[in-house]
Amino acid sequence: MRSRWQLGIICFGLCVSQSSYADILSLQIEPIVGYERVQQLLPTPHSVNRLIYGGRVTAGVLLVSAESEYTHGTLKEDFPDSSHTSVSDRLKLGLRSGFGLGSLIKITARGGVQASMTQLTQTVAGVSVTTFDPLRYDPYAGAEVKLSLSSKINASVGAVAIIRDINALEQSEYQATAGFALQFP
């Protein structure tokens, strides 16, 4: 089983929102800074820590909007006899669709394609070897619940599944996030 569960916590977010057409259309820019803890089962069970940063741009209306998200992450695994360092860049392009339950809660579904590139450096007995994974494209789908704590402060939780192989769903990657955003202006 190669499934990877990722828990990401967005530690800090500033959301810049620009509205037009009487608050119908909006543009949101959100920086992403987070920490992931991954439990991997292969080659041996171990935990991995990863720091990520990037940003998300969303444009449209609540019912249908376009999204683009870029993240850069560095992951380091230490085994008793070796170490592995992975640097990855990911770009998600997709659509969001949501609805509000009053003015306090918004529920959003999202989906699209993720492009990713990874550089892996393995060090064994002081000898390092660096390899590059080819650029790959994988579909993703997820959901998010956003709670408005005030007119300018939001808290959110979400989950996204990146489907590596539709015929082998056990290879999918799952990302769970929790965070908050302060909206300016």
pLDDT at 23 (0 to 100): 54
Domain total for the chain? 1
Give me the pLDDT at residue 16, please. 47
Residue 13 has pLDDT above 60, yes or no: no
For 150-185, the pLDDT digits (tens) are 888 989 999 999 998 888 888 888 888 888 878 776
> What pLDDT is recorded for position 185?
67
Per residue in 71-122, pLDDT (tens digit) is 999 988 877 777 888 999 999 999 999 999 988 999 999 999 999 999 999 9
Distance between CA atoms of 14 and 105, rounded to whole angstroms?
A: 19
Domain CATH for 47: 2.40.160.20
- Give the domain extent around 94: 4-184
**pLDDT digit string (tens) for 41-75?**
777 767 777 888 999 999 999 899 999 999 999 98
pLDDT reported for residue 5: 43
Specify the pLDDT at position 28. 86
